[in-house]
């Protein structure tokens, strides 16, 4: 007869493994998948952005780090869009109305979508912290991923070689 403590530990280990698989998004070198609709109703697809370097930024209006970074991302976007750089800002806010209000006030020039609508499908897994940033190469594969604060210099160090 198996020891109950051993059975319990095995069940916990299995649950942790299953949970971590659900949390995981695409790893570096893997193809990213994303279709959505922007807040202004435009279709959004990574497939349509092939040939561009894309930053997918999971953020929220209530995240202090996100609030500080978004104007920097706007400046980086403005400086590099003509070179083939694109940003997709995927909000994980729970309140779509609050997100729409925030986006209207800030007037960001890059596409903003709400992750929790029924039109968004992706393989990024559960986002367990904001911001979570992915940089995709021109083929749509993940080149870099970072959770937490990212400086424009860190982003440029990743993006610049990919734009060449």
- Please write the tens of the pLDDT for every residue from 140-159: 999 999 999 999 999 999 99
| 21 in a structural domain | no
| 126 in a structural domain | yes
pLDDT digits (tens, 9 = 90+) for 86-119: 999 999 999 989 999 999 999 999 999 999 888 8
Output the pTM of the full model.
Answer: 0.84
Range of the domain at 103: 26-163
Cβ atoms of residues 109 and 29 within 8 Å: no
Number of domains in the chain: 1
**CATH label of the domain that carries residue 54:** 3.40.30.10
Residues 6+ away with beta carbon under 8 Å from 71:
106
């Amino acid at each position: 007869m198996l020891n109950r403590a051993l059975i319990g530990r095995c069940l916990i280990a299995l649950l942790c493994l299953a949970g971590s698989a659900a949390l995981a998004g695409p790893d570096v070198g893997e193809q990213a998948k994303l279709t959505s609709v922007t807040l202004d109703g435009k279709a959004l697809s990574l497939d349509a952005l092939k040939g561009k370097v894309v930053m997918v930024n999971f953020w929220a209006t209530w995240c202090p780090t996100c609030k500080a970074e978004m104007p920097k991302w706007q400046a980086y976007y403005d400086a590099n869009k003509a070179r083939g750089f694109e940003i997709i800002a995927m909000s994980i806010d729970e309140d779509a109305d609050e997100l729409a209000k925030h986006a209207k006030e800030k007037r960001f020039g890059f596409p903003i979508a709400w992750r929790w609508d029924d039109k968004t499908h992706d393989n990024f897994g559960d986002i367990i912290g904001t911001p979570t940033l992915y940089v995709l190469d021109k083929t749509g594969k993940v080149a870099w991923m970072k959770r937490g604060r990212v400086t424009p210099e860190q982003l440029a160090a990743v993006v610049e070689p990919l734009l060449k």
